[in-house]
Amino acid sequence: MGYYLNPSSPRYEKLKKSKVFVDKTDIFEILNENLGKEKSFFCLSRPRCFGKSVTAQMICSYYARCQDSSSLFDNLKIASFDDYKKHLNQHDVAFNQMQQWYDGYSFKDVPHIYNPNSVVNAATYKKFISYWTKTETFESLQEYIDMNMEGLRDDIVKLIAGEDVIVDVSTFSNDMVTFHSKDDVLTLLIHLGYLAIKGSTNLGVIVHIPNEEIKLEFKTCVKNNNRYAGVYDLIKNTDVLLNEIWSLNSEAVAKIFDEAHQDHTSILTYNNENSLANVIAISLFLSTTNTYNVVRKLPTGKGYADLVYLPKSGVNKPALLIELKFDKSAQTAITQIKEKNYLQFFKDYKGEVLLVGINYSKDTKTHQCIIERAKLD
């Protein structure tokens, strides 16, 4: 649920049909009374398995725009409140924003572990930003990702783009000075909290960058870094690129990708659509941190959309549905979006959606781009 702005209410609807459903909507008497006031922050604290998730689902279902949930609440306690209709489906809901910024760590029996220092700072200063740079380990990150280890830079690029990487942790010497391979460096980054484990295979553990805060730290470290030439060229042009997409300027978008890829020092290489997706994700990496939630390979319609960018709470910008092709055509990408009905995901969405088709030609070594406004029924 952490990916969606104004999430819909099917889960709460199922919970309401349960034989053990308990009407807890009287909580809205307190919430509605304090909306918009200076002291309007509430912490829902209960023991494990005592209904925190159910209550969160209920709050989302009641407040979130882009739906009509009156049928869920008309026969509950809240319906008798004077301000019931005033707030029903009238607010933007950013579900689990704290989770997106500072969660992402876990152990076997503990699915969610947050960075406590950053959570406290975010609550104190009321801002979702990176507080990691004030720690000692930040100074070490630059040193470690710059190490001359075979395959290390490729893995760092994949991680920044949102991909998972497999790491063999068995060779780690359990210190901060002995490194024999990229796996040793990446294992240390796991220990330092820059990478999080999300699973395992016979080859090693599966790791990823855990949250928005750590993404920003990686961005800072590749800035003006010759070992990551081409990567930061895309990142530093990210605001320009996003504005060109919003303006439907297909030629300008293609040109930005061409220039970054044609840099003779660039480490960005294409082998297939997945590698192209990495470059697109990197290019939108910085500007989308505060404006969009990104979902890769989103199941929708009759297939999987390559990249979907959903506006965050309070961001009045179009959603982006991006389909990628390798050695085909940008029009083929747009056609696939329509024929496979990828727009089904947006059937209850009230905002604007842009369709973006991007193709890379191996022969001409150039990009082609088509941008269209979606026609939602």
CATH architecture of 229-373: 3-Layer(aba) Sandwich (3.40)
Q: Of 243, 244, 237, 254, give the one whose Cα is nearest residue 358.
A: 254
Residue 195 pLDDT: 95
Beta strand 292-300 pairing with 204-208: unpaired
pLDDT at 217 over 50: yes
Residue 12 pLDDT: 77
Residue 95 pLDDT: 57
pLDDT in tens, 248-287: 999 999 988 887 666 534 555 666 666 677 777 777 765 6
Residue 47 pLDDT: 61
**CA neighbours closer than 13 Å in the CB half-sphere of residue 274:** 6
In this structure, what token pair is assigned to residue 33? 């009374």
pLDDT in tens, 283-334: 776 567 668 888 888 888 888 888 899 887 677 899 999 998 988 999 999 9
pLDDT in tens, 95-122: 557 788 888 888 777 778 888 888 888 8
pLDDT in tens, 76-92: 999 999 899 999 988 86
Render 102-156 in DSSP notation, one character per residue: H--EEETTEEEE--HHHHHHHHHHT--S--GGGSTHHHHHHHHHTS--TTHHHHH
Domain ranges within the chain, ordered by starting residue: 10-95, 101-214, 229-373
> For the whole model, what pTM was predicted?
0.59
Q: Mention every residue, 6+ apart, whose C-beta is less than 8 A from residue 4.
A: 95, 293, 310
Confidence of residue 1 (pLDDT cuts 50, 70, 90): very low
Looking at residue 276, its amino acid is L
Q: How much is the mean pLDDT over the chain? A: 82
Render 227-290 in DSSP notation, one character per residue: GGTTHHHHHHTHHHHHHHHHTT-HHHHHHHHHHHHH-TT-----SSHHHHHHHHHHHTTTTTTT
CB 333 within 8 A of CB 325: yes
Highest mean pLDDT among 74-83, 98-107, 172-181, 211-220: 74-83
Looking at residue 241, its amino acid is L
Beta strand 366-373 pairing with 105-107: unpaired
Average pLDDT, integer, range 140-144: 82
Name the helix (H) or strand (E) containing 308: strand 303-311
Helix pair 152-160, 137-145: axis angle to 10 deg: 120
CB 283 within 8 A of CB 259: no
Cα dist. 228→5, 185, 237, 282, 353 in Å?
33, 17, 15, 12, 33
Asked whether the CA dihedral 262, 181, 220, 244 is positive or negative, the reply is positive
Report which of residues 351 and 355 the model is more confident about. 355
Confidence of residue 134 (pLDDT cuts 50, 70, 90): low
Beta strand 319-326 pairing with 353-361: parallel
CB 160 within 8 A of CB 189: no
Render 14-50 in DSSP notation, one character per residue: HHHTSTT----TTHHHHHHHHTTSSS--------TTS
What is the three-state SS of 179-195?
CCCHHHHHHHHHHHCCC
Q: What span, in angstroms and rounded, lies between the C-alpha atoms of 73 and 16?
A: 10
